[in-house]
Amino acid sequence: MDRITVIRRSLAIFALGWVALLPVLGIIPAIYALLAVRQVRDGYRDAWNPASGYLKAGIVMTRIGFFTSATLILLTVIALMFGLIG
């Protein structure tokens, strides 16, 4: 993977991280971002990534967004199962 591709994907992961922070709606972008992170890290392992700060921030936002959405969905399902909603 060349450097330009790595920079573009790192910035895309950063943008997807912002979208992933949206409750429930961000779960699909979060999953895509987590898969893209794996590709960037595997494809550009030993070289310096000039956009590594954006990549790291995107990873943090993606993980927070994914965890928040997953927790919200889990709590909603539990509440529906026990009749606490509706």
Q: For the segment 48-69, what is each residue's pLDDT rounded down to a tens digit?
A: 889 999 999 999 999 999 999 9
Whether residue 34 is contained in a domain is answered as: yes
Whether residue 86 is contained in a domain is answered as: no
Tens digits of residue pLDDT in 29-43: 999 999 999 999 898
What is the distance between the alpha carbons of residues 25 and 3, in angstroms, rounded to a whole number?
Answer: 31
With beta carbons less than 8 A apart as the criterion, state whether 12 and 32 touch: no
Domain count, the chain: 1
Q: Please state the rounded mean pLDDT for residues 2-7.
A: 91
What is the distance between the alpha carbons of residues 11 and 73, in angstroms, rounded to a whole number?
Answer: 28
> What pTM did the predictor assign?
0.86
What is the distance between the alpha carbons of residues 41 and 60, in angstroms, rounded to a whole number?
Answer: 15
What is the residue range of 68's domain?
Answer: 3-81
